[in-house]
Structure 1
Amino acid sequence: MAQATFGAGCFWGVEHFFRQIEGVTDVTCGYMGGNDKYTDYQSVKSGTTGHAEVVQVEYDEDKVSFETLLTVFWQNHNPTTLNQQGGDIGSQYRSTIFFHDRIQKQQAEASKLALIKSERWGLKQIVTEIVPAARFHEAEAYHQNYLAKNELPSCHIFYG
């Protein structure tokens, strides 16, 4: 199985969208990209740890491509708002692609460039970071599959 890691705001909604993709075998909410000393929800929520709320996606490359996952990522959040998605504000909600290898980096950069060239967002700047994957910290159990367990609609706003 391959891995991909995305930050696109509240991880509950991001997890929901990726779970819908055929070929995705698991999605785990967690934290990445900050000070590894503090990785619990309250610390990350404070915005002082440098972590982003992320989802780590496990997928079968024979059934779904990384490019398809990138399309889902771009379609389900606003990549033009710095450190914010909807009402969630802070660096922990930033738009980020954490690449796991050189090929993912190249594909992520190409997809970002294609989005810019498409002018889908007009003159707004795409602020999504494309950075190397760092240590992944799994979020607390109550965050996993939160929307389904609590029978809530997606907390994520569709921006596509």
Structure 2
Amino acid sequence: MLSATPANAEQARNLPRAAIDAAAGKGTQTAVLAGGCFWGMEAVFEQMKGVRSVTSGYAGGTADTATYGQVSSERTGHAEAIRIDFDPALVSYGTLLRVFFAVAHDPTQLNRQGPDTGPSYRSAIFPQNTEQAKIAQAYIAQLGRVRAFPKPIVTRIETGRFYPAEPFHQDFFRRNPNHPYILRWDKPKVAAFKAGFPALAR
């Protein structure tokens, strides 16, 4: 049984691989994941081999309210999320999900992550096609069967468009390495990713 603390290198090493995954493909594919503040989520996946770009933004609501000020009201239906453009010949969708559950956030926290509370900080997966939906559903069930976490996984599988966040939020980790929030909450996640998944780290 693994700890529910997301910044945990041992957890990263022990979390099982997805038993059902996509075959290697060509070109660029997209994944959209929500797991609390997008600064840390973006930072983790930017360190990953096969990831071409990561964009912070909002998913699950409408275009007219996809702004930080409105999303923070917790009335728009959005989740802070990231869009990952990745090379499926180098990294699989299932591997992205493994990192998502292992170190990028805590999938047992309902409508919150760390100090951030509200449904915009929920744990959610926004599949971009039917195959991704099947892989996500199967992996959540797989983690539940092996009791990978001491509490139930609350991650939701949702539909909805992704809207990029304001420029201020893009690459926040890299541009603000000494920001107090980054030091307290996000640097441990990146360190856990590098220690737990050395073969996946750039």
Shared fold per TM-score greater than 0.5:
yes
Answer 1 or 2: which has greater strand percent.
1
**Alignment coverage as a number of residue pairs:** 158
Counterpart residue identity of residue 67, structure 1: G
Is 1:36 the counterpart of 2:60? The answer is: no
Instruction: Write the mapping of 1:62-141 to structure 2, written as runs, cut at 5 A.
Output: 62-76=89-103, 77-122=105-150, 124-132=151-159, 134-141=160-167
Larger radius of gyration: 2
Which string of whole-angstrom CA distances, capped at 9 and with x for unpartnered residues, describes residues 78-108 of structure 1?
1111101011100000000000011100110
TM-score under structure 2 length normalisation? 0.74
Please state which structure has a larger fraction of its residues in helix. Answer: 2
What is the match of residue 176 of structure 2? 150
- Structure 1 vs Structure 2 CA RMSD: 1.6
Alpha-carbon separation, structure 1, partners of 2:51 and 2:59: 20
Instruction: Please give the alpha-carbon distance, in whole angstroms, between the structure 1 residues aligned to 2:114 and 2:64.
Output: 28
Q: Give the letter aligned to residue 146 of structure 2.
A: S
Q: Which runs of 4+ in 1 moved over 4 A?
A: 157-160
